[in-house]
Each structure stands twice: as C-alpha cells, then as structure tokens.
Amino acid sequence: MSLVLALILAAGATAAEPADPGKAATPEPKADPIVCETIGELGSRIRGHKVCMHRSEWDSQRQSNKTLIERTQVQRTLEAGH
C-alpha cells in the first residue's frame, strides 16, 4: 500500500514539472515596438519634433486625448443650454 502511494506521489511530482523549465519560467513578452512620429508645431508647417513611444503608450495617449475632447464637447453643450 505504501509502495503504491509512493509511486503515485512520484508520478504526480514529475507530471507537475514542466518539460523545459527555462521556457516555462519566463512568459513570452508581447511585441510592443517603439514607434516614432513627427509632431508638428502649432502655427508652423515646417517645424516639428520627433516623439518616440511604445505602441501601447501611443494608444493610451490617443484614448486620453479622445476622452478629453468628448468631455469638453459635452461640457460646452451643457453650458450653452443654461
């Protein structure tokens, strides 16, 4: 009986270990490349500066800008109604 229990525990311990411990220990990093864009200077068609951020940072910035614009438009509509 104890021999069977020892075999079951040994089989469970080996099954829980990954086949390649180096690969399973480090998760696969998501591809988040750095993207550079030229941001134009207000009032100039020529001048501008280059800004580089990760793609996720650009997405976050655009979402933040969109939210701010929508909030401002709603606020103006509410103020005009008074």
Stated as kind and residue range, the H or E segment containing 9 is helix 2-16
Average pLDDT, the chain: 80
Phi, psi of 52 (to 5 degrees): -120, 130
Q: For 1-82, where are the alpha helices, taking DSSP H only?
A: 2-16, 21-25, 55-80
Domain boundaries, the chain: 33-82
Which of these, 57, 30, 36, lies nearest to 48 by C-alpha position? 36
12-52 confidence digits (pLDDT tens): 655 455 555 555 566 666 789 999 999 998 888 888 999 99
pLDDT at 28: 63
Query: What percentage of residues in the chain have a pLDDT greater than 90?
Result: 44
Q: Region 61-81: what's the mean pLDDT?
A: 92
pLDDT at 7: 58
The SS3 assignment for 20 reads coil
